[in-house]
Structure 1
Amino acid sequence: MREILSALGEWYADGSPFGLATVVTVTRSAPRGPGAAMAVGPADEAVGSVSGGCVEGAVFELAQEVVASGEPRLATFGYSDEDAFAVGLTCGGEITLLVRRVTPAEDPSFGRVVESVGAGHPVTVATVIDGPAPQGATLAVWPDRTSGTLGSAGLDAAVAADARGELAQGATGQRHYGPGGERREDAVTVFLHSFAPPPRMLVFGAIDYAAAVARIGDFLGYRVTVCDARPVFATAKRFPAAVEVVVDWPHRYLRGTATDDRTVICVVTHDPKFDVPLLEEALRRPAAYIGAMGSRRTHEDRMRRLREAGLDASELSRLRSPAGLDLGARTPEEVAVSVAAEIVALRWGGSGVPLTATTGVIHPPDPTG
């Protein structure tokens, strides 16, 4: 939903009612995961997508009905074997959507949620989707406060505690509670939609390959930082896709920078006096991906130096070197695609082989929950 919040914020500020459809459950293969959203606002303007095009027409009509009635609706769409032309997901999956009307009166917290997400501040929106609680009721949860209610103080307290835990992981999904907040599987179903700050991509080495990696990192939604010790190369003009460009020794900058399990580290310097101290630091801290470019000879020399620096086999196994998948890439842009493909494959557990050579679902469930 992050990509459509700007439009939703404008409608909300104008006081214009709009219908918001959010994917709350995905079964088998589906092109969009939980949290994907589509909205229908003034003059029947539609933004966003919940299925990549399969069921958007039906969702558009459902959102119009919800705006008119004010009554939330839970709807499930899936592929029909009996009628391939019926509304459905031709990829073979099934999605369940909650469609609700949003206005300042019905959801007083929505504007503050939009502001927080736009500013990169963490927030989770908890919404009742089923059970003995007001369907469509929302509770916005920040690390230090909440706004709204799901119908009872006990339920609000239990959901807020879980939401803060999910927010720390950037996770989105369903939880089940009793009406008073007790953990039960047969009562109130609540959808927790976490908006964590964008993950970081740290690119070390201000060369043309770094510029291409920074561009594709920005495209994938990372907050990109480019770092190089050479001020003549590390300039904002050369890296417009980066949030920041830092002039510093790479290992020194990384030592003073927080990373987490979503952080991506790309090393493109090809120079052992930069690479080795940097990778020695990187391989001993949390990160989702640590990749280093270079030839086979560069890789072997780099590994030898890292072993001499005291890194063990477990630490060295985290290094993706030479970085990227085998795409036959030549240009900086093609190499950046290769590196991005490896990052995506590692994140979701993909094999990296052509889909024509695989079987089973194309869009596996989110392993993070």
Structure 2
Amino acid sequence: MNDAWDAVVQWSRAGSRAALARVVDSSSGRPRPPGTTMAVSESGRVVGSISGGCVDGDICARAQEVIRRGTPEELRYDGDAGEFAAPRLPCGGRLDVYLEPVDGSLRAVLAPLRAALRDGQPIALATILAGAGHSVPRHTLIPAAAGYADPAATATLGRVRALTDPHTTGLFDLPGPENTADLRIFVHSFPAPPRLLVFGADDFAAALTRIGRFLGYRVTLCDARPAFATAARFPAAHEIVVRRPHEYLADTPVTESTAICVLTHDAKFDVPLLAAALRTDAGYIGAMGSRRTHADRVHRLQAAGVPEAELARLAAPTGLDLGARTPEETAVSIAAEIVALRRHGSGARLRDLDRPIHPVADPASARCAVPGFGE
């Protein structure tokens, strides 16, 4: 859950009224996908951003009227539609924004939604934009979380989840209950966060845990040495494990959304750990070290029976060529390689590319927001 949602919770607890703006649809290639969120308080405080600035001022002004009126408003910003009253998107494309007051219906789902996300449980928030009248609450969680369940809403909106990929965020049309209008529903999915497993407790690992958390990963730091793997040294890690790395990995679920970074610099840890890692479905497996160190590592992995096809998956030396020197610069280099692989980026300078900054996605997958590699 991003800062905008946290701000809404804090303002509600303090008795301050607020509005929540969310992108519910956008043209292919726009950088801000459905689910992008901004919160505005009645005192004018703003947390989050919808467009990177070009339409945020207009949304802020409209938010005050939505708060005063107590009813939602749907906004469209179209950079290709010529001159009209609403602000344009200078970079082109279209954004559809749902601006709503933080009322009782929304407040009812905030606590269980935050609890599910805190526990790393995937969940979706379904919001009725049109139809159904007052027969179903405007918001419900799918699946219903502990502490919140509305049978009527779940029966109605639960049908949406049956029709969609569990990670999809987007708009859906659904026939309404008997004798009611059809429903237009925005399903805002919050998948479980991707995992970053960092092995080796040194200054480079500390910097990588910080940037990993900043990028939205659930970060684990693992090292066999209790004196080095401590919460004081790695405050950004969600979890610190004192255990032999390959043993920990053997007991840990790994999916395509998992990134594994091996910074141990010690063959007795590296070889069994990487041999195990290369047998998993991890989307990224990187290992730090010089080319000389890596050549010796490859020789040892080959001797351990690791096939060439698996060795080809190994990103080593890890990171992009940024000329990095410090732990922080190196962490940026590694994170940049992870992002480039996840988002199908080239790693080249944008000024040297003759193509759109945000390539147009396949319409069939444009609304899918899966936090994994190769999405």
TM-score using structure 1 length:
0.86
**Count of aligned pairs between the two proteins:** 360
- What SS does the corresponding residue of 1:319 show, helix, strand or coil? coil
Alignment of 1:84-163 (within 5 A): 87-104=87-104, 108-130=108-130, 137-142=138-143, 147-148=149-150, 155-162=156-163
- 2:42–2:67 contact (8 Å) kept in structure 1: no
**Separation in 1 of the partners of 2:106 and 2:238?**
36
1:338 positional shift: 0.5
- 1:294–1:321 contact (8 Å) kept in structure 2: yes
1:143 positional shift: 6.6
- 2:113–2:145 contact (8 Å) kept in structure 1: no
1:50 positional shift: 0.6
**Separation in 1 of the partners of 2:154 and 2:229?**
53
Quote the RMSD (CA, aligned, Å): 3.0
**Separation in 1 of the partners of 2:323 and 2:240?**
30
What amino acid does structure 2 have at the position aligned with 1:314?
Answer: A
**Separation in 2 of the partners of 1:357 and 1:131?**
49
- 1:133–1:188 contact (8 Å) kept in structure 2: no
Q: Tell me the equivalent position of 1:331.
A: 326
**Separation in 2 of the partners of 1:28 and 1:11?**
34
What amino acid does structure 2 have at the position aligned with 1:289?
Answer: Y
**Separation in 2 of the partners of 1:106 and 1:277?**
49
Q: Tell me the equivalent position of 1:184.
A: none
- 1:20–1:101 contact (8 Å) kept in structure 2: yes
Q: Deviations over 1:248-288 (max 9, x none)?
A: 11100111112222211100112221111111111112222
1:55 positional shift: 0.4
**Separation in 2 of the partners of 1:221 and 1:54?**
25
Q: Residue 315 and residue 161 in structure 1: after superposition, are their counterparts in 2 closer, same or farther (change >3 A)?
A: same
What amino acid does structure 1 have at the position aligned with 2:158?
Answer: A
- 1:152–1:179 contact (8 Å) kept in structure 2: no
1:123 positional shift: 2.1
Q: Tell me the equivalent position of 2:242.
A: 247
**Separation in 1 of the partners of 2:23 and 2:86?**
20
Q: Residue 107 and residue 268 in structure 1: after superposition, are their counterparts in 2 closer, same or farther (change >3 A)?
A: closer
Q: Tell me the equivalent position of 1:343.
A: 338
Q: Residue 277 and residue 133 in structure 1: after superposition, are their counterparts in 2 closer, same or farther (change >3 A)?
A: farther
Q: Name stretches of at least 5 consecutive residues in structure 1 with no aligned partner.
A: 182-186
**Separation in 1 of the partners of 2:139 and 2:367?**
26
Q: Tell me the equivalent position of 2:373.
A: none
TM-score using structure 2 length:
0.85
1:208 is the counterpart of 2:210? no
Q: Name stretches of at least 5 consecutive residues in structure 2 with no aligned partner.
A: 370-375
Segment of structure 1 superposing worse, 348-357 or 262-271: 262-271
Q: Tell me the equivalent position of 2:357.
A: 362
